Amino acid sequence: AQSVTQLGSHVSVSEGALVLLRCNYSSSVPPYLFWYVQYPNQGLQLLLKYTSAATLVKGINGFEAEFKKSETSFHLTKPSAHMSDAAEYFCAVSGPIIQGAQKLVFGQGTRLTINP
C-alpha cells in the first residue's frame, strides 16, 4: 500500500526566496511520484512526475523535485518564488499501472503563500 505525508499544511515565503515543500512517501513497490498544483476553485495541474528515470525531475514554472530513495522523499523546490506561485500543492504516489489504470494516493496538501 502507498501513502504520502506532506510536512507543513501551510508554508509562507517572501517573493524571490527559495520555495521548499516537503513530501515523504511509503510504498511497497517502486513508486511513481507526482506533484500537482491547484489554484482556488480549479482542478489539479501536473507540475512534474518521477517514473524511475532521472532522480532530479524538472517541471513547469521553474519547479523541480529530487527523488531520494534512502530518505523516501520527493521534495519540491523552486529557487525564487513568484507571487503567481501562491496555490495549494499536492504530492501523490502511485503503484504499478494495472490494466491502464493508475491509482494515485494524495497527501493532504500544502498551501503556499507568497509575501511581497
Partner 1 sequence: DGGITQSPKYLFRKEGQNVTLSCEQNLNHDAMYWYRQDPGQGLRLIYYSQIVNDFQKGDIAEGYSVSREKKESFPLTVTSAQKNPTAFYLCASTRSGNTIYFGEGSWLTVV
Give 20's strand partners.
Answer: 77
Compute how many other C-beta atoms are within 10 angstroms of the C-beta atom of residue 24.
Answer: 18
State the nearest-atom distance from the C-beta of 116 to partner 1, in Å. Answer: 25
Binding residue for partner 1, selected from 12, 14, 26, 45, defined by CB under 8 A: 45
State yes or no: residue 31 binds partner 1 (CB under 8 A).
no
State yes or no: residue 112 binds partner 1 (CB under 8 A).
no
Q: In this structure, which amino acid lies at residue 9? A: S
State the nearest-atom distance from the C-beta of 15 to partner 1, in Å. Answer: 25
Q: Which stretch binds partner 1 (CB under 8 A): 20-28, 38-46, 56-64, 67-75?
A: 38-46
Cα–Cα distance for residue pair 28/5, rounded to 1 Å? 15
State yes or no: residue 74 binds partner 1 (CB under 8 A).
no
Check: CB of residue 73 under 8 Å from CB of residue 7: no
Cα–Cα distance for residue pair 22/102, rounded to 1 Å? 23
Matching residue, cell 515523504: 24
- Kindly list the residues in this chain that would bind partner 1 in the complex (CB under 8 A): 4, 9, 34, 36, 41-46, 49, 90, 97, 99-104, 106-109
